[in-house]
Amino acid sequence: MRVAFLYPGQGTQRPGMLHDLPDHPAVAAALAEAERVLPGSARQDGAEALASTVTAQVALCVAGVASAGALLAEGVIPDAVAGHSSGAFPAAVAAGVLTFAEALMAVRRRGELMRDACPSGYGMAAVLGLSIPQVRRLVESAGTEGEPVYLAIVNTDHQAVVSGSDAALERLAAAAAQAGARRVQRLDVSVPSHCPLLARVADAMADHLAALPRRRLRVPYLGGATGRLLHDSGAVLDDLARSVATTVRWRDGIALLGELGTAVFIQTPPGHVLARIAQAAHPRARVITLADTRVTDAAALARGLHSP
């Protein structure tokens, strides 16, 4: 395994993210297709628009598909694709499981369901500097039946994300600070993703995706809920539906990609979060972010034509 594409999820969105996408014909084509499928989806990247979980997830899908399309047009074919949270949908497009139009409609539906499931009083927070067992213990002590909190994402051995009610997140943040956490930061996410609070969303998404055709994968897809490579479209669609209500095992997935010999990780816009995690886990790998690398340069580096 040589090249893996990494797609960031909600929380990484930023104003201007769609206008700052690479200047490339494949990006322009993807933006035009997004406009045909969901009018306005290729332009809605202002701060006010991105405050909506629906708009943010759609924008991230557009950014991921458009950027990866530019890499594909330049001859970079991934050996695996991995999407973090909502980034799983553009990853599924690259894997050949979804069309771009199907992904856009599914992401919009997902965002609407998440928004309606927990309209206020919930969110997510990153906990940095504590071990995963420590975070698990904090989750157990901070949550109550009426104010729950859950371990939502395991990014690294010392970086986790928790989901739950605002009150429980505040209690956990205070306890984490006392336990020696380097930082506890609320994410720009207004819903408690990747936890049982969204079990009904997972069921509804499973129904939505069940109507789609099963296609042969072009490349393996890293499952968020399993941290393993999936090679069957039915398994990918199940992961897309169910991962919204289960813990994301990103640490395990990135470790696996390294064990399989991935030499180049390329993160699509926006930001650098996934690139940093991959670089920390695999210091000898080449890690590229399209947020600050031209597509043609990234393609050349991925093909090994020259060194940076």
State the Cα–Cα distance between residues 244 and 265, nearest whole angstrom.
Answer: 24
How many Cβ atoms from other residues are within 10 Å of residue 133's Cβ? 8
Known catalytic membership, residue 19: no
State the Cα–Cα distance between residues 147 and 130, nearest whole angstrom.
Answer: 22
DSSP states along 186-209: E-S-SS--SSGGGHHHHHHHHHHH
Q: Residue 153: which residues within 8 A CB-CB, separation 6 or more?
A: 84, 85, 160, 161, 194, 247, 248, 250
Annotated active-site residue in 24, 194, 208, 282: 194
| Phi, psi (deg, nearest 5) at residue 98 | -120, 150
Known catalytic membership, residue 85: yes
Positive or negative torsion for Cα 65, 67, 70, 71: negative
Pairing of strands 183-186, 159-165: unpaired
User: What tokens does 240 get?
Assistant: 């897309």
Annotated active-site residue in 41, 67, 85, 193: 85
User: What tokens does 31 get?
Assistant: 């933006």
Instruction: Using only the alpha carbons of the chain, give its radius of gyration.
Output: 18
Contact 65, 71 (CB under 8 A): no
Residues annotated as part of the active site: 85, 194
